[in-house]
Structure 1
Amino acid sequence: MNLSNSYSELPGNFYAHVQTAPAPKPHLLAWNEDLARHLDLDELTQDRAHLARIFSGSEPLPGGVTIAIAYAGHQFGNFVPQLGDGRAALIAEAISPVDGRAYDIQLKGSGLTPFSRNGDGKSPLGPVIREYLVSEAMYRLGVPTTRSLAAVASGGRVMRDRVHPGGVLTRVAASHLRVGTFEYFAARNDRDALQSLADYAMARHYPEAVAAERPLLAFFSAVVAAQARLVAHWMALGFIHGVMNTDNTAISGETLDYGPCAFMDEFHIDKVFSSIDHRGRYAYGRQAHMAQWNLARLAECLMLLDGTVDEYEALLSAFQGDFEARYAALMCRKLGFPEPIEEHQELVTAWLQRLQNEQLDYTQSFRQLASRLDANDPPLFDDFEARWLQQIDRQPGGREQAARIMATSNPRFIPRNHQVERAIQAAYEDDLSIFNELQQVLSAPFQEHPGLEHYALPPEKHERVLATFCGT
């Protein structure tokens, strides 16, 4: 195993060495063999008891160095100068033999760190199951994301609103560098540390920026583009992150943190799921705006080193146009159009308005619309359907091409809130059947899964999940 931890080679104020807490009775619930192979961790796969000990924090991962990373963050607009890994430990960095890239391996829920504040450093099992399912679903849906390598039941108990069984998730990320990491050193006016962090981030994620005439400006421009791409993917899937604080904004452009997140059932532009988002700061339709706000905080940090307000504002202003272009392209493909020309974008707007007015299920409605390409019975979507088919028939490839595009742009299965909650509650009773079936359908979300079709259905009224919660 080619393991190290390059972040631990940075100055000591970047992190703290930690000792993870042994789990009382660790039991492996899930092991991601495909990801393990990608990280060259195959030799661990055969011994599940050993896996449970390592990825619960009970034993070290050979070759790694265990640290908790320091960072700050704007949480719902309020700046907190010190946050850090309060219940997480970065245990190693793996160099993939497949792509040659470095990947962080981090435990979540592995015990106290110097950044735990008043927390216990533990995680209930529910958030472990949620993040495992949702992060891997996002990966299969083509969204830049952190991934899940292992889910372990710790055998212990965690007190939140009530007593919950404990768990530990192993998260894999391109890195755990955040906007909040830069804010941590900017708040202390530690320009040497800030420059070291920027150099590390550029070398790891955007090496082309190192050779640019103005490296920090090139770096910022690359991060802006990565965030525009990410949020466009979220929006096209009907995904709501729920807690887009700067400490959850990854420099790599990956989706980071699956706490109070959710996929919409019925569509509404102002939909909120997070139980702590009382004013809708991170509502579905505000996600692009908030990503740009977070990027402005990064610009403020980098300006301490190089560049003017005008230079960073010019780069930041590119976010909206980039996001809109990417979102338009994704949405037009969801309607079967290969290119986002103006008349197709007008149809997207009309379609979303119809979904909202009639409170239709976001994911299922696109699949139903696709079924109209070869239907002979009366239309399901009235005048909109007629207008849409006219434009489909006018484009090269017609309905056949549109069917191919829609089949690969509109998932049949998403991690629906009520099914994730069912999996969590069943796991609390030592029943992993729903968890395992959800893993199966979400591993191939565009395909049919005979016998498991019910996982594609929206919730009944009594099954609706109206709020999601953070596991801290």
Structure 2
Amino acid sequence: MSTLEQLRFDNTYARLPPGFGARVEPRALSNTRLVSANPSALRLLGLTPEEARRPEFLEAMGGGRPLPGMEPFAMVYAGHQFGVYVPRLGDGRAMLLGEVRAPSGEKWDLHLKGGGPTPFSRGGDGRAVLRSSIREYLCGEAMHGLGIPTTRALCLLGSDAPVYREEVETGAMIVRMAPSHVRFGTFEFFHYTEQHVHVARLADHVIDAHFPHLSGAPERHVRFYAEVVERTARLVAQWQAVGFAHGVMNTDNMSILGLTLDYGPFGFLDEFEPGFICNHSDHRGRYAFDQQPRIALWNLACLGEALLTLISEDDARAALATFEPSFSAHFLTRMRAKLGLAESKEEDRALVCDLFALMAEARVDYTRFFRALSRVDAVAEMFPDRARFQAWAERYRARLTAEGSVDLERQARMERVNPRYVLRNWMAQDAITQAQRGDFSQVERLLAALEDPFTERSEHAELMREPPSWGRHLVVSCSS
């Protein structure tokens, strides 16, 4: 028996009471082929790249022949989309294949995206296209490489089958992995349908599985909510520090575990633009880069309302009140690290804010600037008004001197936290264009580079260059 066939499934979510979703049967695409298998994700399940190349792997992950123990299940949820409550969403083009207990003891959801219609498809075909599947496959690993909590991807499957979106595209599937795919919107569904017993059942399920230190505690629901607030504050601080815009922060796209969930129209900053909008459907800039902390807090308030049969309004307000100080503290800690500061001083906030004002005015490339800042004299040429930047640089040097900073040590610290590579939209589009011609090599090259974005390698030198003219100011559709 192969390692694949020995995977141990422990499908706790499918064992929840009726009403949490629906059992489904995935539908394989015609002529399905393996585009890429993620070696580091395979290892988490005790699998090897050789195992992923076997026909049995393709059949199991692509919906052709489920493994023994799999119980495909579509999860129901609701959500506030662009601020408007939608009462019933659910896994319309995704399904939980099963929950795998890895050799390490960790538990992983295997979540197939693009496996055909479910009861929650709302008339859709339940499919995904190659374009968006490549973006999600690569970005999950890019975020993981950056140390940001995220869903990950086990494999990417392609097909010649046509899928109809804004134009005819080819179908694809992605198997993503996470400890849980429960969302803020999962709680909202049960709250607004007045299934308050299920709100409690869901909360206790999540607590027992993912917050075991709270299991059975009298105040477990209050403490659970407070921890979700903290995790979300920390996550969004990490997004802001690395220059990541999610693009569609609906409550159904917010993970109860504080993971980056659902990669649709995301974008990493090229030029530093605080109001950067990466989603061309976001006409009013609700989910612009600089609005993400505010929207995270709004979404947490929606979650708090969904928990009001378990916690009091006063407790919910008290937990929400911790978001802004927590976010600010995490963000400033991240920015100190990006600046190579080893100590915390009161003037650091002003130093960061003034730098951002200069960067926004000069539209400086965010990632390239911070990577080069370890040698501060090397970045002055990025600013048309060099005198203003040099005035800031003198304050920065004085700040370093005040804490006795040693240049070589500081430079090494900064290079460990300021990436050389992020998944810019032009990089993803380049890989998509080649893949649509049948060449998947750029997908593999990007996967290798983004797995360790802090280490410079000569074979990835082109990923550090400025975006090509065609790749500037790309925005992405929600269509996938």
**TM bucket, shorter chain:** over 0.9
Shift of 1:42: 4.2
Q: Retained in 2: the 8 A contact 1:73–1:80?
A: yes
Q: Tell me how far apart the structure 2 counterparts of residues 200 and 103 of structure 1 sit (CA, whole Å).
A: 15
Instruction: Show the counterpart of 2:315.
Output: 311
| Secondary structure at 1:170 match in 2 | strand
Q: Tell me how far apart the structure 2 counterparts of residues 61 and 84 of structure 1 sit (CA, whole Å).
A: 24
Instruction: Show the counterpart of 2:80.
Output: 74
Match status 1:242 vs 2:247 = yes
Q: Tell me how far apart the structure 1 counterparts of residues 245 and 381 of structure 2 sit (CA, whole Å).
A: 35
Q: Tell me how far apart the structure 2 counterparts of residues 418 and 387 of structure 1 sit (CA, whole Å).
A: 35
Shift of 1:71: 0.4
Shift of 1:47: 3.6
Q: 1:470 aligns with which of 472, 475, 478?
A: 478
Match status 1:134 vs 2:139 = yes
What whole-Å deviation, never above 9, does each CA across 1:304-336 have from its counterpart, x for those lacking one?
2x3321221011110110010000000111011
| Secondary structure at 2:413 match in 1 | helix
Match status 1:52 vs 2:46 = no
Q: 1:360 aligns with which of 361, 364, 371?
A: 364
Match status 1:421 vs 2:426 = no
Q: 1:404 aligns with which of 394, 412, 421?
A: 412
Instruction: Show the counterpart of 2:3.
Output: none
Q: Tell me how far apart the structure 1 counterparts of residues 421 and 335 of structure 2 sit (CA, whole Å).
A: 18
Could you say if the C-alpha distance between residues 202 and 25 of structure 1 is closer, same or farther in structure 2, counting changes exceeding 3 Å? same
Q: Tell me how far apart the structure 2 counterparts of residues 135 and 287 of structure 1 sit (CA, whole Å).
A: 19
Shift of 1:432: 1.5
Match status 1:324 vs 2:304 = no
Q: Retained in 1: the 8 A contact 2:30–2:160?
A: yes
Q: 2:33 aligns with which of 27, 48, 71?
A: 27
Instruction: Show the counterpart of 1:125.
Output: 130
| Secondary structure at 2:172 match in 1 | strand
Q: Retained in 1: the 8 A contact 2:87–2:189?
A: yes
Q: Tell me how far apart the structure 1 counterparts of residues 239 and 475 of structure 2 sit (CA, whole Å).
A: 18
Q: Tell me how far apart the structure 2 counterparts of residues 376 and 184 of structure 1 sit (CA, whole Å).
A: 52
| Secondary structure at 2:374 match in 1 | helix
* 1:284-295 matched pairs, under 5 angstroms: 284-295=289-300
Question: Identity across aligned pairs (percent)?
Answer: 38
Shift of 1:397: 3.7
Letter in 1 for 2:193: R
Shift of 1:388: 1.2
* 1:32-181 matched pairs, under 5 angstroms: 32-42=38-48, 45=51, 47-98=53-104, 100-181=105-186
Letter in 2 for 1:430: G
Q: How many residues align?
A: 470
| Secondary structure at 2:176 match in 1 | strand
What whole-Å deviation, never above 9, does each CA across 1:414-452 have from its counterpart, x for those lacking one?
001101001001100001122122112111100111032
Shift of 1:375: 10
Instruction: Show the counterpart of 1:448.
Output: 456
Q: Tell me how far apart the structure 1 counterparts of residues 459 and 41 of structure 2 sit (CA, whole Å).
A: 27
Shift of 1:210: 2.3
Could you say if the C-alpha distance between residues 325 and 335 of structure 1 is closer, same or farther in structure 2, counting changes exceeding 3 Å? same
Could you say if the C-alpha distance between residues 377 and 145 of structure 1 is closer, same or farther in structure 2, counting changes exceeding 3 Å? closer
Could you say if the C-alpha distance between residues 375 and 107 of structure 1 is closer, same or farther in structure 2, counting changes exceeding 3 Å? closer
Q: 1:216 aligns with which of 207, 217, 221?
A: 221
What whole-Å deviation, never above 9, does each CA across 1:210-238 have from its counterpart, x for those lacking one?
24331110110010011011001100000
Q: Tell me how far apart the structure 2 counterparts of residues 154 and 463 of structure 1 sit (CA, whole Å).
A: 27
Letter in 1 for 2:478: C
**Comparing 211-220 with 357-366, which one deviates more in the overlay?**
211-220
What whole-Å deviation, never above 9, does each CA across 1:65-105 have from its counterpart, x for those lacking one?
1010000000001001100000001001012222x222110
Q: Tell me how far apart the structure 2 counterparts of residues 280 and 323 of structure 1 sit (CA, whole Å).
A: 21
Instruction: Show the counterpart of 1:436.
Output: 444
| Secondary structure at 1:68 match in 2 | strand
**Comparing 2-11 with 139-148, which one deviates more in the overlay?**
2-11
Q: Tell me how far apart the structure 2 counterparts of residues 43 and 441 of structure 1 sit (CA, whole Å).
A: 18
Instruction: Show the counterpart of 2:350.
Output: 346
Give structure 2 stretches of 5+ with no counterpart: 1-6
Give structure 1 stretches of 5+ with no counterpart: none
Letter in 2 for 1:338: A
Instruction: Show the counterpart of 2:4.
Output: none
Letter in 2 for 1:60: P
Q: Tell me how far apart the structure 2 counterparts of residues 169 and 104 of structure 1 sit (CA, whole Å).
A: 13
What whole-Å deviation, never above 9, does each CA across 1:162-196 have from its counterpart, x for those lacking one?
11111000000110111100011001111111111
| Secondary structure at 1:370 match in 2 | coil
* 1:226-241 matched pairs, under 5 angstroms: 226-241=231-246
Letter in 2 for 1:404: A
Could you say if the C-alpha distance between residues 361 and 47 of structure 1 is closer, same or farther in structure 2, counting changes exceeding 3 Å? closer
Shift of 1:146: 0.3
Q: Tell me how far apart the structure 2 counterparts of residues 239 and 291 of structure 1 sit (CA, whole Å).
A: 14
Shift of 1:161: 1.2
Q: Tell me how far apart the structure 2 counterparts of residues 259 and 376 of structure 1 sit (CA, whole Å).
A: 35
Shift of 1:376: 12
Could you say if the C-alpha distance between residues 429 and 377 of structure 1 is closer, same or farther in structure 2, counting changes exceeding 3 Å? closer
| Secondary structure at 1:92 match in 2 | strand
Match status 1:333 vs 2:353 = no
What whole-Å deviation, never above 9, does each CA across 1:24-50 have from its counterpart, x for those lacking one?
011101111221221234497154333
Q: TM-score normalised to the size of structure 2?
A: 0.94
| Secondary structure at 2:43 match in 1 | helix
Q: 1:265 aligns with which of 270, 273, 287?
A: 270
**Comparing 44-53 with 421-430, which one deviates more in the overlay?**
44-53
Q: Tell me how far apart the structure 2 counterparts of residues 96 and 53 of structure 1 sit (CA, whole Å).
A: 20
Q: Tell me how far apart the structure 2 counterparts of residues 115 and 124 of structure 1 sit (CA, whole Å).
A: 19
Shift of 1:398: 2.5
Instruction: Show the counterpart of 2:469.
Output: 461
Q: Retained in 2: the 8 A contact 1:136–1:148?
A: yes
What whole-Å deviation, never above 9, does each CA across 1:130-182 have from its counterpart, x for those lacking one?
01111101001000000000000033111111111110000001101111000
